[in-house]
Chains A and B, each alone.
Chain A
């Protein structure tokens, strides 16, 4: 067994940890003015929505170019999110998105990525 990529993992951890830790451990950052707290309160929904959308709407094509993807995957995520909003149940929403995706691919309605 080799450990050739363990040093790479350490280097990756070293550049990842500061972004996770800097605001949590820096003194004074936890006592922010009201406008900053109002801003930070909105970071969660904004960044998670961006993460979900970029994940399904932006694809890299064969030539390495980024393009907008309109197809099954965004629809499946919208179905899942709608169910979460309706039933307040994340697991049910994820399950619905998976079933929609797997079914559509199984019957040939949508290609595999």
Chain B
């Protein structure tokens, strides 16, 4: 639950800034809320707002959205074994709320339990979706009275949350090697290509490096935090 508070804080802080940025870019409240509800992916929403403000064409924004959100394929594949045997409608619905944070919280929760648990997944998603959508509206309507988020250090919330959640998934040598390799590969490829490509490359290639050491020193099966 303590993890969820951190994730809620992260999602809420980002959504406030997004709401304010959307308003500045000329979005209506309905536009901003529609994007938060339908797309539900912070990086691509920020990029869209920035590109709209810069006068970019819609096809370019849609293409960038696809590239930025391609990493969700990794999340989907990693969670698929846990969803084995669940109804198709449940899996299809679960996919819509599969964000960075939902993935991390749900995976930690499933590993702790050693099995899939539907309410746990939806609770994890609600810790992201609810603050994301409500804080979008708050940011749109009142964001201008909030001091500069960077001055408050709120821009660091997302990377700190992602790094902390990665630590929560490290339960052995292989996970540690995969995380370190993902980090290094991700940064190197991001510098050579694009940040979104770097994240996908780190997520794809890091696990391959992680498979190299023998899997014999698993620290504990239940080191992750309770949801």
Interface residues of B in 57-75 (CB under 8 A from A): 58, 61-63, 65-66, 69-75
User: How many A residues face the partner with a CB closer than 8 A?
Assistant: 77
Asked if residues B2 and A19 are in contact (CB atoms below 8 Å), the reply is no
A-B contact count (CB 8 A): 338
Asked if residues B164 and A12 are in contact (CB atoms below 8 Å), the reply is no
Q: Which residues of A contact B79 (CB under 8 A)?
A: 23-24
A-facing mask of B60-98, CB < 8 A → 1, else 0?
A: 011101100111111111111101110010011011101
A50-B185, A54-B190 given; A16·B44 CB < 8 A: yes
B-facing mask of A74-105, CB < 8 A → 1, else 0?
A: 00110011001100111111100111111101
Asked if residues A97 and B74 are in contact (CB atoms below 8 Å), the reply is no
Measured CB to CB, the nearest residue on chain B to A56 is B159
A interface secondary structure, majority = helix
Asked if residues B167 and A8 are in contact (CB atoms below 8 Å), the reply is no
Instruction: Check: B41 CB closer than 8 A to any chain A CB.
Output: yes
B interface secondary structure, majority = helix
Asked if residues A49 and B180 are in contact (CB atoms below 8 Å), the reply is yes
Instruction: Check: B145 CB closer than 8 A to any chain A CB.
Output: no
Bound Cα distance from A85 to B203, whole angstroms: 21
Instruction: Check: B166 CB closer than 8 A to any chain A CB.
Output: yes
Measured CB to CB, the nearest residue on chain A to B223 is A88
Size band of the interface chain B makes with A: 35 or more
Q: Which residues of B contact A58 (CB under 8 A)?
A: 187, 190-191, 195, 198
Asked if residues A52 and B30 are in contact (CB atoms below 8 Å), the reply is no
Asked if residues B77 and A29 are in contact (CB atoms below 8 Å), the reply is yes
Measured CB to CB, the nearest residue on chain B to A39 is B207
A20-B75, A24-B95, A54-B198 given; A2·B164 CB < 8 A: no
Select A25's contact among B95, B148, B210, beta carbons within 8 Å.
Answer: B95
Query: What is the CB-to-nearest-CB distance from A2 to chain B, in angstroms, rounded to a whole number?
Result: 5
Bound Cα distance from A102 to B116, whole angstroms: 39
Query: Which residues of B are interface residues toward A (Cβ below 8 A)?
Result: 2-3, 5-7, 9-10, 27-31, 34-35, 38-41, 44-45, 48, 52, 58, 61-63, 65-66, 69-81, 83-85, 88, 91-92, 94-96, 98, 100, 103-104, 107, 148, 150-170, 174-176, 178-183, 185-187, 190-191, 194-195, 198-199, 201-203, 205-208, 210-211, 215, 223, 225
Q: List 10 A-B contacts (CB under 8 A).
A: A3-B28, A6-B30, A12-B44, A12-B62, A24-B92, A46-B206, A47-B182, A47-B203, A58-B191, A94-B161
